[in-house]
Amino acid sequence: MEILIAEDDVTSRRMLEAVLEKWGYQVQVVNNGERALEILLEAGSPPLALLDWMMPGIDGVEVCRRVRQNRKDTLPYIVLVTARANKADIAFGLNAGADDYIVKPFDRDELKARVGAGERIVALEQEGARRLRKLQDALDHIKTLQGILPICMYCRRIQSDDASWQRIEEYVAEHSNAEFSHGMCPDCTAKYHPELLKD
C-alpha cells in the first residue's frame, strides 16, 4: 500500500519514511501542506496519509478539511501527526476530518498499530466499493428486462439471447432474483372455473 507523508521537519520526515519502507509500504514524501493537498485531490492518490499538524502554508488540519470538502470519490484515510496531546486539540483535528492521530514523539509500535488499522479500514472500503460496482452491474443487467423482449403472440414464450424460446417464468428467473407463485386472475377463473364463483 502507498502512504503519503507530509512533514516539514527533515528528521521526522526521514524517520517516518525509513520506518514505513522497512515495514514494506511504498512511501511518497512532501514537505508542505499545499503539495499534500494537491496530491490528495488527484485521482489515484495514496489511500493513506500521515500529515503533520504544523506545516508552513496549509497545516495538516486544513488539508483534512479541504480534502473532505472537495473529494467526491473514496476518501483517503488520514492520520494527523502532532505534538499537541490535549483532548481539545485532538477532538479539533478529528472533527476537521482526520481519521486518527499520533502524538510526537511517536512510539514505533503505536505507529505500526495505527497505520495497520488504517490499512485494514482502507481495504474494507475498497472491498465495499468493489461490491457496490458489482451490484450496480447486476442492476444494469436486470434493467435489460425493461427493454423490448420478443414474445410469441400465441404461447407467450420469450426468445432468449441464445435464440431459444422459454416460458416467461424461466426467462425472468434466469435474469433476476424474482420467484413466482401461481394463481388465477378473475377473468380466467370466470372462463375456466365458473363453478368457483358460485355462492
pLDDT at 104 exceeding the cut of 90: no
- Going 118 to 119 to 124 to 130, the CA torsion angle's sign is positive
Instruction: Check whether residue 92 and residue 37 sit in a common domain.
Output: yes
Same domain, 64 and 86: yes
Residue 59 pLDDT > 80, yes or no?
yes
> What pLDDT, on the 0 to 100 scale, is given for residue 2?
94
In the predicted structure, residue 64 carries a pLDDT above the cut 90: yes
Indicate whether 35 belongs to any domain. yes
Of 19, 11, 24, the closest CA to residue 52 belongs to 11
Neighbours of 169 (CB within 10 A): 13
Of 57 and 23, the structure prediction assigns the larger pLDDT to: 23
Q: Does the residue 198 lie in any domain? A: no
Residues 152 and 124 reside in one and the same domain: no
Count: domains in the chain: 2
Which grid cell sits at 195?
Answer: 363453478
Shared domain check, 159 and 109: no
Mean of the per-residue pLDDT values of the chain? 87
Q: In the predicted model, what is the mean pLDDT of residues 171-185? A: 78
Domain residue limits at 100? 2-139
Q: Do 110 and 33 reside in the same domain of the chain?
A: yes
**Structural domain includes residue 123:** yes
C-alpha cell at 66: 479541504
Domain assignment present for 176: yes
Q: Return the CATH number at 30.
A: 3.40.50.2300
Judge if 126 and 166 occupy the same domain: no
Domain membership flag for residue 61:
yes
Quick: pLDDT tens for 114-172: 999 999 999 998 888 888 888 887 777 666 555 667 888 888 888 877 888 988 888 87
pLDDT in tens, 40-52: 999 889 999 999 9
